[in-house]
């Protein structure tokens, strides 16, 4: 299993890192792009999500075998690859969880909007690094 390092996402790069100093979050590895290794990665980062992963994996493989269309498997691998990437770094996962809670519990529009924008920024960073299969 070969995994290559990703480039740091701009939001995870501090001023010191812009000058060349490494940042721990910038050292996350790209999630595997095949079902078996991706399942192992899901088990590592979020064991509770494994049953959902397995159900969806069986569903998309059944759908592809019936239709002959490989797109559902590609989308499944991409979606779960982003899931692993978001949870692979404990700091990023904790920040995402805090922002989701803040957005859900916000009592005013401005707070909810600010949390949603930060969530979108994190998600955008993860999806930009994942190649479209």
- Residue 17, domain member (yes or no): yes
Structure tokens at 112: 């909810």
- Residue 73, domain member (yes or no): yes
pLDDT in tens, 84-98: 988 888 898 899 999
Is the model's pTM score more than 0.85?
no
For the chain, the domain total comes to 1
pLDDT at 21: 42
- Residue 93, domain member (yes or no): yes
State the sign of the Cα–Cα–Cα–Cα dihedral 18, 28, 33, 58. Answer: negative
- Residue 119, domain member (yes or no): yes
pLDDT at 13: 39
User: Is 5 in a helix, a strand, or coil?
Assistant: strand
CB–CB of 28/85 below 8 Å?
yes
CB–CB of 88/42 below 8 Å?
no
- Residue 81, domain member (yes or no): yes
Note down the domain range covering 87: 10-129
pLDDT in tens, 62-82: 999 999 999 999 999 999 998
- Residue 4, domain member (yes or no): no
Burial (0-12, 13-18, 19+ Cβ within 10 Å), 107: exposed
pLDDT in tens, 11-22: 443 434 334 444
- Residue 3, domain member (yes or no): no
């Amino acid at each position: 299993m070969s995994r290559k390092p990703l480039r740091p996402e701009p939001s995870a790069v501090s001023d010191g890192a812009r000058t060349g100093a490494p940042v721990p979050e910038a050292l996350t590895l790209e999630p595997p792009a095949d079902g078996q290794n991706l399942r192992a990665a899901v088990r590592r980062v979020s064991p509770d999500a494994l049953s959902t992963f397995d159900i969806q994996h069986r569903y998309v493989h059944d759908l592809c075998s019936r239709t002959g269309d490989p797109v559902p498997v590609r989308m499944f691998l991409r979606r779960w690859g982003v899931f692993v990437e978001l949870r692979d770094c404990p700091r990023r996962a904790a920040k995402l969880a805090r922002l989701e809670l803040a957005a859900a519990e916000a009592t005013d529009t401005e707070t909810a909007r600010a949390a949603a924008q930060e969530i979108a920024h994190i998600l955008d960073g993860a999806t930009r690094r994942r190649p479209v299969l």
